[in-house]
């Protein structure tokens, strides 16, 4: 395996979109994907990029990706990185690709002076939970994530 981790680029948008769809299939959330390549390109490479990606390649073949963005901790007075998506092709899991992506993301966090790297994991994804805990990650079970989306978000915004 000649694994390389590199930053995603504009030409990768179709690949990133396909990996996102693969993640959605794995997480049983495919009906929730409304992403288009045009929206993804604007969000990642437009006038104001909102997120970044890392692509894992084995030779010429993409085998996984990580999508992340910065957040901020007022208590630390430091930026952090939030890992929105981590996905490795099912047939390539267990070969160190996920770890390599997280290692590179941890390096990015340290290089940028971030105080933490965090993410969410589905409760039923026991293999991912075991993987993260082997890396030293711990659940932050004192907090519950809340979300406003769609009509409730529009209503709160007065739309």
- Residue 80 bridge partners (DSSP): 71
Known catalytic residue at 132 = yes
* Among 26, 50, 132, 146, the one annotated catalytic: 132
If we measure between CA atoms, which residue out of 95, 101, 85, 81 comes closest to residue 26? 85
Q: How far is CA 95 from CA 3, 68, 81, 99, 100, in A?
A: 10, 22, 25, 9, 10
Catalytic residues: 132
């Amino acid at each position: 395996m000649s694994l390389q981790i590199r930053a995603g680029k504009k030409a990768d948008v179709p690949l990133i979109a396909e990996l996102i769809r693969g993640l959605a299939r794995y997480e049983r959330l495919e009906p929730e994907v409304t992403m288009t390549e045009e929206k993804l390109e604007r969000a990642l490479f437009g006038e104001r990029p909102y997120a970044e990606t890392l692509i894992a390649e084995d030779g010429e073949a993409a085998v996984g990706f990580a999508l992340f963005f910065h957040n901020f901790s007022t208590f630390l007075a430091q930026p952090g990185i939030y890992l929105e998506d981590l996905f490795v092709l099912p047939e390539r899991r267990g070969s160190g690709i996920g770890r390599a992506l997280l290692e590179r993301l941890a390096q990015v966090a340290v290089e940028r002076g971030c105080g933490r790297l965090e993410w969410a994991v589905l409760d039923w994804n026991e293999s991912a939970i075991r993987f993260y805990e082997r890396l030293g990650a711990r659940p932050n079970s004192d907090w519950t994530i809340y979300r406003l989306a769609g009509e409730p978000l529009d209503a709160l915004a007065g739309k």
